[in-house]
């Protein structure tokens, strides 16, 4: 007799397995542990076989019968339903391995070691928030340009146009990696060039007028916070490195006798050399007496860790400066770049090398830590002297660096 829902539900386990048969090969296997498994008994190629139809109550009697009927249709067409299921599962596993998310995470893992942590976190944050929910499960080879555009439009609609452009860029990188690894034939994101309005980039606020720089420098000298933060503030305009590189500086990287600081640039992973003006060496020697026994030049509350990334900006706000419109720790770089070129007349390529920017030359070298080193040594000392003169209120005129360094 055919099974009923009541019979299936009320059957209790015993110390032996039970088989409750329905119709056309379907039966319920009840285990001593209480499990109830739907099975289909069938013959194919002269052999008796069994195929799982699911577990009760997740799969009801009605659903089990529907699965049985689908399997019997395959048998009628000369297809073994057990083999067909294995093929289908293998295909699903392959599609999952070649999904956009799987390829993106593989690409990310490959290139992450060469990125700064903050950069890597931003990339994965964008993918997880703005891409994976819609494209993550799709086989990357089957994704079409309109699907990517829909993702970009969602980001644009919330007013994050710059983020939308970055998402577009990251999607292109994933597609090109998929092409290189044989998972896709083309980069469909390339079809979307011009689909988004151009983003208007905003720069870190900075002070670039000499009179305002003088005011800022005098305010730094009057800072009433900790000596460590005060030294970081005094060194920030002298060195104009990236804020994260300044706060994580280690004493082992410095040779104060040679007036040099050598470290690896966080953004490009290239070696960089910062010539130290005499004023910077004086500040560092003072600070070494306090923090020299620690690893970091600017230790935080836990001296085994560097000071907070918010410390310099917080100090600027305490001094009355608006870090959204006037100056930030990063703004010292723009200050130096502008004044060194416009007022001290140093060549832009010398300044760019000191800023640790990639500056391709005629030989194709993207970056050379010792390029223009003698010019950079002179420039760093001239810059420190200029800042001292500004702070003291001296009237300054542009320097003809070309004749001075000839």
Active site residue 242: yes
Which position has the token pair 């730094």? 220
Active site residue 330: yes
Catalytic pick among 67, 165, 247, 330:
330
d(CA 61, CA 53): 10
Catalytic pick among 138, 267, 345, 378:
267
Distance of CA 82 to the CA centre of its chain: 44
Nearest CA-CA partner of 179 in 95, 93, 107, 97: 107
Active site residue 177: no
Residues 402/345, Cβ–Cβ less than 8 Å: yes
Cβ atoms < 10 Å from Cβ of 165: 18
Catalytic pick among 357, 369, 371, 378:
357
Q: Is 327 helix (H, G, I), strand (E, B) or coil?
A: coil
Torsions phi, psi for 62 (to 5 deg): -60, -45
Catalytic pick among 65, 333, 353, 376:
333
Which long-range contacts link 67-76 to residues 24+ away (Cβ below 8 Å)?
A: 67/38, 67/40, 68/22, 68/24, 68/25, 68/26, 68/40, 71/40, 71/42, 72/24, 72/25, 72/42, 75/42, 75/44
List Cβ neighbours of 234 (8 Å cut-off, separation of 6 or more): 220, 221, 283
Q: For the chain, give the number of residues.
A: 406
Catalytic pick among 165, 242, 272, 337:
242
The 8-class DSSP code of residue 394 comes to: -
Active site residue 357: yes
Q: Is 212 helix (H, G, I), strand (E, B) or coil?
A: helix
- The residues annotated with a catalytic role in the active site are 242, 267, 330, 333, 357, 367
């Amino acid at each position: 007799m055919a099974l009923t829902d009541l019979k299936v539900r009320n059957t209790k386990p015993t110390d032996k397995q039970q088989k409750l048969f329905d119709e056309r090969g379907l039966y319920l296997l009840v285990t001593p542990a209480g499990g109830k498994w739907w099975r289909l008994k069938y013959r194919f190629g002269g052999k008796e076989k069994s195929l799982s139809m699911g577990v009760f109550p997740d799969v009801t009697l009605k659903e089990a019968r529907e699965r049985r009927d689908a399997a019997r249709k395959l048998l009628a067409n000369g297809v073994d339903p057990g083999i067909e299921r294995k093929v289908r599962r293998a295909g699903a596993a392959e599609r999952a391995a070649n999904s956009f998310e799987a390829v993106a995470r593989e690409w990310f893992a490959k290139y992450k070691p060469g990125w700064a942590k903050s950069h890597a976190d931003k990339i994965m944050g964008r993918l997880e928030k703005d891409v994976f929910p819609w494209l993550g499960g799709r086989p990357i080879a089957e994704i079409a340009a309109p699907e990517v555009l829909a993702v970009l439009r969602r980001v644009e609609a919330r007013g994050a146009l710059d983020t939308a452009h970055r998402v577009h860029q990251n999607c292109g990188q994933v597609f090109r990696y998929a092409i290189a690894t044989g998972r896709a034939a083309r980069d469909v994101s390339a079809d979307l060039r011009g689909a988004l309005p151009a983003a208007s980039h905003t720069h870190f606020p900075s002070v670039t007028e000499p009179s305002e720089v003088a005011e800022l420098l005098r305010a730094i000298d009057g800072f009433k916070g900790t000596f460590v933060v005060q030294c970081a503030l005094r060194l920030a305009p002298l060195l104009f490195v990236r804020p994260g590189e300044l706060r994580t500086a280690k004493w082992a990287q410095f040779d104060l006798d040679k007036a040099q600081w050598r470290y690896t640039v966080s953004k490009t992973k290239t070696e960089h050399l910062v010539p130290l003006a005499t004023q910077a060496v004086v500040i560092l020697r003072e600070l070494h007496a306090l923090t020299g026994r620690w690893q970091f030049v600017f230790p935080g509350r836990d001296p085994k860790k560097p000071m907070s990334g918010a410390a310099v900006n917080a100090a600027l706000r305490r001094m009355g400066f608006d870090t959204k419109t006037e100056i930030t720790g990063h703004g010292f770089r723009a200050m130096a770049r502008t004044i060194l070129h416009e007022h001290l007349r140093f060549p832009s390529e010398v300044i760019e090398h000191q800023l640790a920017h990639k500056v391709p030359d005629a030989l194709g070298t993207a970056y050379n830590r010792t390029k223009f080193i003698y010019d950079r040594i002179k420039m760093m000392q001239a810059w420190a002297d200029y800042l001292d003169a500004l702070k003291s209120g001296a009237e300054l005129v542009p320097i003809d660096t070309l004749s001075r360094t000839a």
